[in-house]
Structure 1
Amino acid sequence: MYFSFGVLTSLLSILWSNADADEHTLAPTFQDTAKETGADFSDIVSKIMGINKYLVNTSASEHILGGDYREHLDTICSGGDKSCLWPSSNKNILVPYMFKTNFNKAQRGILSVSMSELEALTCVRFKYRTREMTYLEFIDGIGCWSYVGPGKQRAQEISLQKPHCVHVGIIQHQLMHALGFYHENCRIDRDNNIEVEMENIQKESENNFKVQKSNNLVTAYDYVSVMHFGRFAFSKSPGLPTIVPKPDPNVQIGQFMGLSEKDVLKINTLYQCQVCGNLFTKSDGSFTSPNYPDVYPSFINCKWMIRAPLAHKIILEFDFFHIQPFVGCYRDHVKIYDGSTSHSPILKGPACGKMAPAVISSQHKLLITFFSDGQKHTRGFSAKYRFVKCGKMLTASPTRIIGRVEHNGSVNPLEVSNCFWLIQAHRGHKVILEITTYNFQKSEKCTDAYLEISDASVAPPISRGIFCGTIPIPVIEGNALLIEFSHPGSKKQPGLRVDYKCIAGPTERKGEGSIQWSQYNALTLVLSMLLISSWMM
């Protein structure tokens, strides 16, 4: 039995057309949001200590130090002792784990995201335990706590009291303890960076501020580490600070989002990880492929994670993009996920060639991956990002005659509406925009109230015009058009209406562009069928 080439061609055509017809949904998954919305605390450690106050005068509080960790009786970690490190295998650090308690599916999903983010940014790899003698054991104990560093051939408990401790930031805090780290505000050089106000600390909690004999791994002090106490930790009275930063007392200390950029650096330094990628948490920034602007190397697997504050979106654009093209972008390629793990929905990719895969996230995290094989390479890419509060990515469907976006600005004169839409066409098509604005105020040089449109499929993006006042807006077309609406609030409530449609058009040059993931799977299936057919003939 074999498949004729005609049948395979027809099947491929059907699969491609079905893939084109499916509009990508941008709804965040539970794993990505991980119940992070509605958080009512300013830093992770304060949240942990608020939960752990119920440990006091219980058997579970025995040997608890620093408010949430224990030390092995046979091992004291100082951030550099080899006995405090988990073993390496094939350049990765293997940390086996298992569940002693029955965490439900949703809670295991949050645990999975917490570990996956750490894996994406470091060489640490968590694996479910088989026969390993030393391993992490997640339990539903009283409070949130962990041992520091690995023990010697035994189970090592991490207590995550359900549901309070099952939060990405809390889990990553405890995992950093398990990897060998103490609290940042107790490192040996802390007095150069913070003032500990001992007179404001609860008497029974003074030992939690004891300086540790730490190896700082030649890293700068990190005020926003996931391991840093908050400003009012263990205070005698609400509003009395126990920690004051130096020299600027107004510097933010602590946060509840998860790992900081320096946390990632410290893990990679301690375990001598050779990784490609980084974590970005600032409001805007840029990054490039390795060796850019020179040719990127062979056999790289890079991962960059961008994390915005809650209720923000991320716009990702490219100032340069040229990845060695190949059919289906099967070899060198970029993929962009709408979330922090490779299980998140794919926004763009695999992408190669010269068409830039610009995106707007549907939530506050993006993961960008870059892979290269051993074949011919090009210069790679230069990317830039920014955080926005209002943004949406839309796909113009070839099966729908017309789509529409309507937006009304604020009526509050003190509030500026600033919103973005990225309207993209499917492969082999282009999108056409017809835009109507109303109640736009006059703006000198279009600086205060304006509508800006650019083609983000080009690297760098090409401006298609800035419009303000009563200036008519022509019909605009392109492959991925980014619209920015910026206008001060007004009682007349300024706004706009965008009608968009998708038409067939030569949007790609030979060997360029990207491929949807479903199309990539379809291509892989058909190629496999061809190989099987030739083998059976």
Structure 2
Amino acid sequence: MKCIVNLFLLLMFIPDSDIPMMEGDILIHPRGRSAINCVSCLWPKSADGTVLIPYNLSSGYSQQQVSLFQNSLQEFHTLTCIRFVPRTTEKDFISILSTGGICASFIGRIGGEQQVYLDSGSCMSRGTIQHELEHNVHRSDRDDFVTIMTQFISPDKIGNFDKMDTNNVGLEYDYGSVMHYPGNAFSNTSGQATIVPKPNPSIPIGQRIGLSPLDVSKINRLYQCDDSGLLLNSANGTVTSANYPSTYPNNSTSVWLIRTPSGQVSLQFIAFDVQFSTDCVSDYIKIFDGPSKASPVLLDRTCGMGLIPQLISSTSQMLIEFVSDTSITATGFKATYTSGAFYAPGKNFTSPGYPAAYSPNMNCIWKITAPAGYKISLTLHDFMMESAPNCIYDSLSIYDGADTSSVLMVKYCGTKSARTFNSTGNAMMLNFISDKSFQYKGFLASFVFVSAT
């Protein structure tokens, strides 16, 4: 699946809430403390190098939402030394609460019980959960990188753009941070941005898919994490062992978390040469179907030479672990990954974010190819998008073939009941488009392969 994503998702907030907040989702401590560049605001580091943050999760979440919450935590655990752990008797802890449409958090550790508000109806997406858990927002060098268009901001919202004394930990400005406001945040004029990047105004800013690579680097520098992983968050890319095609180092462990914007992950090896040992007890690669080593195993310990067959995840996340011992190395591996909807009869797939609202300015493509001798039966189970004549704003187009030159079976918008579409050949393409205004929950679909005879 090719998915060109410009995420301009507004932070969830309740302007009339009685809970004191600044910047839309930052809670103000009763004692007036809201420190940013503050060493005492960091959570303490354990002797083993991890940073334990105890939490309580309220009972107001469904099992599906609890699973999403746990999945969101796993990216912190895999890529940084942060560990969110269920609270037992710890004095300082965070309390995750569902209430009143609010997504909000304090900044840093304030001591005792501190609330994080994640409304079960409006805040339960991976990026929003991670945003509130990470909360370390604007940088004090902001004006070097963006222009704040105050003429398009209501006076009562200007405070949301106050600068803070932040610890920038020596890293470049991250337009794609999960912490960054979108370009039209708090705009009072339709079509007018309140935040314009410098020097290129067209740079996409703000997203709620999940942590960015620089978000990960920021956390690791702030907490001086020793062992961390690499996040690969594009729709496709390449991953190689250290120093490839030269020999990889001895006595090392590396992890790569692939998290595509949507769809599944397909991993194809181009080269593989890892020291052989019985049962791969020395050097090895291991691959997991998810964001952590607790996820199901796609490929158990593998070593030696020869290409590994294509691997496909069940979600948009795949974890690669590569370990070498203290002796004998080889050239390692090179692999490419892509995202898409791959063969898995009966598999569901959705618009990004479903059942929460999809994002503005999206252009996503799903290409489904059946084996020779088979056709595709696609069912739309749930469908809700912005309605307009000729679907000129948001739409889902279904083609009876591999690309847009194929026969257009249907172009949908608005609200539709369940319906099934059958291809005449072994290929089908879906193209989902959203504009900059009005977002709905999108669609839920599934497909199966049926014999052509």
TM-score, length basis structure 2: 0.71
**1:125 and 2:83 correspond:** yes
Identical columns (%): 32
Aligned residues of 2:99 and 2:118 also touching (Cα < 8 A): yes
Q: Structure 1: which amino acid aligns with 2:152?
A: N
User: Aligned-pair distance for 1:304?
Assistant: 1.1
> How far has the Cα of 1:209 moved from its partner?
0.4
Q: Which AA in structure 2 matches 1:128?
A: P
> Paired residue for 1:135?
93
Q: Does 1:318 align with 2:262?
A: no
TM value normalised by structure 1:
0.60
Paired with 1:334 and 1:240, the residues of 2 have a C-alpha distance of 49
* TM superposition shift of 1:420: 6.8
The alignment status of 1:168 with 2:126, answered yes or no, reads: yes
Find the aligned partners of 2:169 and 2:160 in 1 and give their Cα distance. Answer: 22
Please give the residue correspondences for 1:158-237 in structure 2 after superposition, counting only pairs within 5 Å.
Answer: 158-177=116-135, 181-182=136-137, 186-237=138-189
Relative distance call for 1:393 and 1:99 in structure 2 (3 A) is: closer
Q: Which has the higher helix share?
A: 1
Cα distance in 1, alignment partners of residues 64 and 366 from structure 2: 36
Q: Please give the residue correspondences for 1:55-74 in structure 2 after superposition, counting only pairs within 5 Å.
A: 55-56=15-16, 58-60=17-19, 62=20, 64-72=21-29, 73=31
Asked if 1:97 corresponds to 2:50, the answer is no
Change (3 A) 1:242 1:417: closer
Report the alpha carbon displacement of residue 341 of structure 1 after superposing the two structures with TM: 3.0
Contact 1:360-1:393 within 8 A present in 2 as well? no
Q: Which runs of 5+ in 2 are unaligned?
A: 346-364, 375-400, 408-422, 428-453
Displacement, 1:367? Answer: 1.4
- Aligned ranges 1:58-457 → 2 under 5 Å: 58-60=17-19, 62=20, 64-72=21-29, 73=31, 75-79=33-37, 81-89=38-46, 90-142=48-100, 143-152=102-111, 154-177=112-135, 181-182=136-137, 186-292=138-244, 293-298=246-251, 300-310=252-262, 312-357=263-308, 358-372=310-324, 374=325, 376-379=327-330, 381-392=332-343
CA deviation profile, 1:96-122 (whole Å, cap 9, x unmatched) = 111244433222111111111111111
Task: Say which structure is richer in strand.
Answer: 2
* Partner amino acid, structure 2, of 1:212: M
**Separation in 2, partners of 1:41, 1:156:** 33
What per-residue deviation string (whole Å, max 9, x for no partner) do you get for residues 373-421 of structure 1?
x454423633332424353379xxxxxxxxxxxxxxxxxxxxx996678
DSSP 3-state at the match of 1:287? strand
Pairwise CA distance, 1:193:
1.3
1:113-163 Cα shifts (integer Å, max 9, x gaps): 1111111111111111122211111112331111100013x0111111113
Q: Distance in 1 between matches of 2:328 and 2:92?
A: 43
Give the partner amino acid of 2:118.
Answer: L
Task: Could you tell me which runs of 5 or more consecutive residues in structure 1 were left unpaired when the two chains were aligned.
Answer: 1-39, 395-415, 424-434, 438-484, 498-537
The 1-side partners of 2:26 and 2:80 are apart by 23
Distance 1:215 1:116 in 2: 25
Deviation at 1:347, TM superposition (A): 2.1
Is the contact made by 1:284 and 1:384 (CA closer than 8 Å) also made in structure 2?
no
* 1:162-205 residue CA offsets vs partner (Å, 9 max, x unmatched): 1321221111001111xxx12xxx31121121111101012211
Change (3 A) 1:486 1:238: closer
After superposition, the Cα gap between the structure-2 partners of 1:375 and 1:217, relative to the gap in structure 1 and judged at 3 Å, is closer
Partners of 1:294 and 1:236 lie apart in 2 by 57
Retained in 2: the 8 A contact 1:324–1:376? no
Measure how far apart 1:229 and its partner are.
0.9
Q: Secondary structure at the match of 1:228?
A: coil
Contact 2:280 2:301 in 1 (8 A): yes
Contact 2:266 2:312 in 1 (8 A): yes
